[in-house]
Amino acid sequence: MKKKSKELEYLRFLFSSHRFGTILGLERITFILNKMNNPQNSFKSIHIAGTNGKGSTSEIISQILIEHGFKVGTYTSPHIKRFSERIKINGKEINDKDLAFEIKKIKKVIDKKQKTDSDFNPTFFELGVAIAYNYFAGKKVDFGVIETGLGGRLDATNVLNPKIAVITNISKEHTDYLGDTVEKIALEKVEIIKPECIAITGETNKKILKIIRDKTVKEKVKLFESKKLCSVKNHSFNLIRQKLDLEVEGKKFKELEFALLGKFQLKNLCTSVLAVKKLGIKFNEKKLKKALKKVFISARFEIKQKNPLVVFDAGHNPDCFEKIKETLLILKKKKSFQKLILLIGLSSDKNVEEISKIIFPLASKIIISKASFRGMEITKIAGFAEKYNKPFIGFPDPDEAFDFALNETDKKDLLLAIGSIFFLGELNPEFD
């Protein structure tokens, strides 16, 4: 019992760091990792930045490497239900005992530092990164697949010297922190590209590509663009999987089955396969096929129930919503559903005007709710539902909102719960 209470004490210490908010910078994380003998240098790393697709790309790369026999640590953020979702080895989340053990070691470093510097207060995200790097080092992983949190240059993950640096794509986000133009945001994200790494990108925008190319020239590293080097043929998808033929640098992979849904995932797939190929490992087609059948990521067009059809998606910016719209229109054309029932809860800093313009016209009914953490006011979203003449209703409690939405969804309809990871994290539906 005493041991369990100690574990809870360390977990409380971790979550209490939320009060320090988001503070970009590498000073605190560098200090902690230096005191822990720089665990991030003990494994080969693949560092992934971008506006959308980071999580999917991380999971695809990880699964391919796992199937090829490597021990793989994966760090992603944020989590949906449990902090342990962020830190996995070969797909298995860190357990409470190991998590508490890692926090204990980091807390000792912080406590000692605070005796001479009372203002030394690492953020929640910085603690998560330190835990992940030290855990991966202790477990002797072969590769660490690391997703950035915010931006790149000053993101706490950016103390790596990666083998591969991946820029998925770049659009406007977090303008308070990263800059008010896409170009400024790109300049932040490309800073994960370091000397001696190999750079991979799925970006296609000419202005953004120029920024990425300029960075690779400056660092004297090779850049590989998935748009030029990869192609998809014979593509089809249903509510179970996507089927396709893939060609990467002239190498053809026939009759692949891909477990992640949505046409938008094909770009992430191409970028991921190209990244793994550039690691120089002996690439096996059978193992690739097995990996793509297994790959999974929560809340990325995730089908939670089929009768009626219930989909969870953590889409939270206009670019995400455009991709979801594309998938919905394809499914609608296939007669996979009749009406769209939309359950939405956005974070307070999101562009509700742009998002509503994209998704609200598709919905027959809109149910609005609010996450307790950083949630946008229901009335603000409701104003845009009115603008598009859509029937709507608001519920402050997310579970109550979900129950109502599900009750409004007929067997041939589709219920889409969307808006933010924080909102989806507060939903606790019980499915048959």
Give me the tens of pLDDT residue by residue for the chain, a chain 432 residues long: 466 677 788 889 998 887 767 888 999 999 999 999 999 999 999 999 999 999 999 999 999 999 999 999 999 999 999 999 999 999 999 999 999 999 999 999 999 999 999 999 999 999 999 999 999 999 999 999 999 998 899 999 999 999 999 999 998 776 666 777 999 999 999 999 999 999 999 999 999 999 999 999 999 999 999 999 999 999 999 999 999 999 999 999 999 999 999 999 999 999 999 999 999 998 899 999 999 999 999 999 999 999 999 999 998 899 999 999 999 999 999 999 999 999 999 999 899 999 999 999 999 999 999 998 889 999 999 999 999 999 999 999 999 999 999 999 999 999 999 999 999 999 977 665
Instruction: Clarify whether residues 217 and 361 are in a common domain.
Output: no
Question: What's the confidence (pLDDT) of residue 295?
Answer: 97
Peptide bond into 308 cis (omega under 30): yes
Instruction: Clarify whether residues 49 and 188 are in a common domain.
Output: yes
Instruction: Clarify whether residues 250 and 336 are in a common domain.
Output: no
Instruction: Clarify whether residues 165 and 56 are in a common domain.
Output: yes
Question: What's the confidence (pLDDT) of residue 1?
Answer: 43
Q: How many CA atoms lie within 13 A of 203 on its CB side?
A: 28
Which domain CATH number covers 405?
Answer: 3.90.190.20
Which domain CATH number covers 232?
Answer: 3.40.1190.10
Q: Are 343 and 417 in contact (CB under 8 A)?
A: yes
Is residue 337 in some structural domain? yes
Instruction: State how far Cα 349 lies from the chain centre.
Output: 18
Look-up: residue for tokens 């986000």? 173
Domain range enclosing 201:
2-294
Q: Examine the fold and report which residue of 294, 310, 328 is the final residue of a domain before the chain moves on.
A: 294
Give the H/E segment covering residue 49.
strand 44-49
Is residue 431 in some structural domain? no
Instruction: Clarify whether residues 258 and 316 are in a common domain.
Output: no
DSSP type of residue 257: E
Question: What's the confidence (pLDDT) of residue 333?
Answer: 94
Q: Which residues pair with 237 in a beta bridge?
A: 242
Count of the separate structural domains present in the chain: 2
| 3-state secondary structure (DSSP) of residue 166 | strand
Please tell me the distance from the alpha carbon of residue 81 to that of residue 374, in angstroms, as a whole number. 16
Question: What is the pTM assigned to this prediction?
Answer: 0.95
Write out 344-412 in H/E/C secondary structure. Answer: ECCECCCCHHHHHHHHHHHCCEEEECCCCCCECCHHHHHHHHHHCCCCEEECCCHHHHHHHHHHHCCCC
